[in-house]
Amino acid sequence: MAARLVRGRPRGLGHSTCAFLGHLAARCEVVPETAKLLARRVPGHAVCVPEVIAVSDAQRNGREIPQDSYDAVVIGGGAAGLSAALVLGRVCRKVAVVDAGEPRNAPVAHMQGFLSRDGMPPAALLEVGRAEVAQYGVDFIAGKVEQVDRGEAAGFAVHLAGGPVLHARHVVLASGLRDELPDIPGLRERWSRDVLHCPYCHGYEVRGRAFAVLGTHPVSVNQALLVRQLSDDVVYVPGDRPLTDDERERLTARGVRIAAEGSIKRVVSADDQVRGVELEDGAVVPCEVVFVFPQMVPNDGVLDGLGCDRNPAGFLTTDDAGRTSVPGIWAVGNADDPRALVISAAGKGAAAAFALNHDLVDAEVAQAVAERRGS
């Protein structure tokens, strides 16, 4: 993907603000209440209209991606990355966000469970977030990071697809994760519509319907016990993972029916709706909604050369603030924690930014003291 640079360009309020909010509402389906909320909140502050420049155009026109050093480069412009950039931008740090533009929840029309934003389209949240971040002079680069390695001086070199290299004192990995679904025909086609994984994200919207929970993952039994509170009609399909006596007892006690064991052949759909789960013997377990637990794989390969420690689940180990085992490298949101929903991913991004800024201050003070003593 070619990198594209977005620079924040502060503008005064008044007519342009209204036009901007109207533009947002029209382009991103920002719910009217959100547009009103923003309009109430922003008076007195500058509103930024991002300027987008393709790198190829920039080079043709003699403009360049900044090659000087950033205090922090944030990899990923989802809730976690934008939140980190907002906090750092507001304390006047020099920050770039590099984003490939494929947030995990992109397939869904509505984002649930974010206080004050419940039901907002995911793209609208990010559009508003980018506009807020741009007010503080953060560079936004639409592109993909391929690798991070140690720079020639202190800090890190962030290599972008297409060639540009950014230099950074700190790197915040906010690149999310990918959901790898079991290889069952018919499953992926319905993903995020009536094939779901998270009761907190979209369980309420399907409450009371006929659920089948696929036993394809070690946590599938727990998933069935959990979603049972949303429907009286839940069947567990063990597939190739036989249940223990204890699991069978717990499911039954919770009121979850158990289908016959045997490989799952496919998810059956008709008229744009899941109809059931077909087993290898041809029997179909009827249902309207399938719950399946994906294998969650962090998008952290760009750090492979740095040797950050990982936990047994394969995620980077971090402290409460998001510090990895390599000083200067941070990980937040789903890149660090598969359980993070949008609101907690944003919170982790903010928390890391506070700590990162304090680490920068400590380093700057130590350097100033050393210089003072040396003079």
Least distance in angstroms from the C-beta of 308 to ligand FAD = 15
Q: Is 80 in the site for ligand FAD (CB under 6 A)?
A: yes
Could you tell me the CA-to-CA distances from 92 to 21, 82, 159, 348 in Å, in that order? Answer: 25, 15, 24, 20
CB 348 within 8 A of CB 337: yes
Structure tokens at 271: 């008229």
Task: Give me the residue label for tokens 């979209």.
Answer: 202
Provide, rounded to whole angstroms, the least separation between the CB of residue 136 and ligand FAD: 19
Rule CB under 6 A: choose which of 8, 77, 164, 199 binds ligand FAD.
77
- Closer CB to ligand FAD, 192 or 317, in the complex: 192
Residue 221 or 302 having the CB closest to ligand FAD: 302
Query: Judged by CB under 6 A, does residue 114 bind ligand FAD?
Result: yes
d(CA 340, CA 349): 11
Contact track, ligand FAD, 152-181, x by CB under 6 A: ----------------------xxx--x--
Number of residues that bind ligand FAD (CB under 6 A): 39
186-225: contacts with ligand FAD (CB under 6 A): 192, 201
Q: Which stretch binds ligand FAD (CB under 6 A): 14-22, 96-104, 225-233, 314-322?
A: 96-104
Q: Is 125:86 a contact under the CB 8 Å cutoff? A: no
Scanning residues 276 to 335, which ones bind ligand FAD (CB under 6 A)? 299, 302, 333-335
Rounded distance between C-alpha atoms, residue 277 and residue 285, angstroms: 5
Task: Please list, residue by residue across 133-159, b when 16 or more beta carbons sit within 10 angstroms of its beta carbon and e when fewer do.
Answer: bbbbbbbbbbbbbebbeebeeebbbbb
**Binding flag, residue 99, ligand FAD (CB under 6 A):** yes
Determine, following the binding rule CB under 6 A, whether residue 342 of this chain makes contact with ligand FAD.
Answer: yes
Among residues 105, 135, 216, 223, the one that binds ligand FAD under rule CB under 6 A: 105
Q: Whole-angstrom distance between the N-terminal and C-terminal Cα of the chain?
A: 49
| Position 112 contacts ligand FAD (CB under 6 A) | yes
Judge contact between 140 and 124, C-beta under 8 A.
no
Distances (CA, A) of 334 to 203, 273, 298: 20, 30, 7
Does position 129 interact with ligand FAD (CB under 6 A)? The reply is no
Binding site for ligand FAD (CB under 6 A): 75-81, 98-105, 107-108, 111-114, 144-145, 174-176, 179, 192, 201, 299, 302, 333-335, 340-343, 345
